[in-house]
């Protein structure tokens, strides 16, 4: 059995997969974060050596597999977003609970940091980022303030930027900092998360063998919406709208849904792991 773990992280899921597939199976894993890969790799080595890790985005799934001579796999798992070290290590710049550089890159070796985006992105584009990826209604107000202020203020620390957002937009609801959605928006933009997900899902379905499974764990509504839409589109025949009987199929469905509604964690699981509270799991089978 050949399995792809698109979000290796610290190798939690991958270790279970490696044990489950046994020495005859093969695991391919992706992650953008070299530090996570190093931890996961030493963990996996204790179980077996029938795995290959790519320091790359899962948006390169088919290309990477093709280069390995693999055309079909039996299962693909996505476990999207951040890992615990991203949140817990202030140096990565994802959280404003502690001060750190405004970075937010999963791959700390390349690409623009959040601070670079704030410094260089045109006002309208910045507002779109806050609105689309953070669902922030006051997106224009914040983008305007940033563009006005950025010639004299350098936005390069997480705490400083979180306080700035609060100053411009006012305090959030009790228990929810005003900068939470803005940090989510910047993180999605920095890592181009939603376009990577679209590409990754397409390629996952493409490389699945018949009866193979694709499973996606997402953590916010923007991701879940993409997965839901993608699975719905792939599990419905595309019919010819000009056919008066509506029976001519132009493109046949390729997936069958295994989850009509997303599976959410139980209270017991949330009590054990608070970070799982927003998880949504959707799964489908290749026809």
Binding site for ligand SAM (CB under 6 A): 7, 9-13, 30-33, 36, 57-59, 79, 81, 83, 106, 191, 196
CB of 130 vs ligand SAM, minimal distance in Å: 21
Q: How many Cβ atoms are within 10 Å of 145's Cβ, its own excluded?
A: 18
From CA 154, how far away is CA 207, in angstroms rounded? 45
| Dihedral sign computed on CA atoms, order 141, 143, 149, 154 | positive
- Output the DSSP codes for 216-244: EEE-SHHHHHHHHHHHHHHTS-EE-TT-T
Nearer residue to ligand SAM within complex by CB, 31 or 142 = 31
The residues with which 30 forms a beta bridge, in sequence order, are 54
| Dihedral sign computed on CA atoms, order 53, 272, 263, 212 | positive
CB of 77 vs ligand SAM, minimal distance in Å: 8
Q: How many Cβ atoms are within 10 Å of 19's Cβ, its own excluded?
A: 11
CB of 192 vs ligand SAM, minimal distance in Å: 8
Query: Nearest to ligand SAM by Cβ — which residue?
Result: 9
Nearer residue to ligand SAM within complex by CB, 81 or 93 = 81
Nearer residue to ligand SAM within complex by CB, 55 or 140 = 55
CB of 58 vs ligand SAM, minimal distance in Å: 4
Nearer residue to ligand SAM within complex by CB, 36 or 121 = 36
């Amino acid at each position: 059995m050949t399995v792809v773990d698109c979000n290796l992280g610290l190798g939690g899921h991958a270790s279970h997969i490696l044990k489950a597939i046994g020495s005859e199976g093969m695991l391919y894993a992706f992650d953008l974060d070299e530090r996570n890969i190093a931890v996961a790799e030493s963990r996996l080595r204790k179980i077996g050596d029938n795995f290959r890790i790519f320091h790359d985005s899962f948006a390169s799934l088919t290309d990477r597999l093709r280069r390995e001579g693999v055309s079909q796999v039996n299962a693909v798992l996505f476990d999207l977003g951040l890992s615990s070290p991203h949140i817990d290590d202030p140096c990565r710049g994802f959280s404003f609970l502690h001060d750190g550089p405004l970075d937010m890159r999963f791959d700390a070796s390349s690409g623009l940091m959040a601070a670079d985006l704030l410094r260089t992105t045109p006002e309208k584009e910045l507002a779109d980022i806050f609105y689309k990826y953070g669902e922030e209604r006051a997106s224009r107000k914040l983008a305007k303030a940033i563009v006005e202020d950025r010639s004299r203020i350098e936005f390069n620390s997480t705490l400083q930027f979180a306080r700035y957002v609060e100053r411009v937009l006012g305090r959030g609801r009790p228990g929810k900092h005003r900068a939470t959605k803005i940090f989510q928006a910047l993180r999605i933009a920095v890592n181009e998360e939603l376009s990577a997900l679209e590409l990754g899902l397409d390629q996952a379905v493409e490389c699945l063998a018949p009866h193979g499974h694709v499973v996606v764990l997402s953590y916010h509504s923007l991701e879940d919406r993409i997965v839901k839409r993608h699975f719905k589109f792939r599990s419905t025949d595309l019919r010819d709208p000009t056919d008066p009987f509506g029976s001519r199929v132009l493109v046949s469905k390729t997936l069958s849904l295994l989850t009509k509604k997303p599976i959410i964690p139980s209270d017991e699981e949330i009590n054990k792991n608070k970070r799982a509270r927003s998880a949504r799991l959707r799964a489908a089978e290749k026809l």
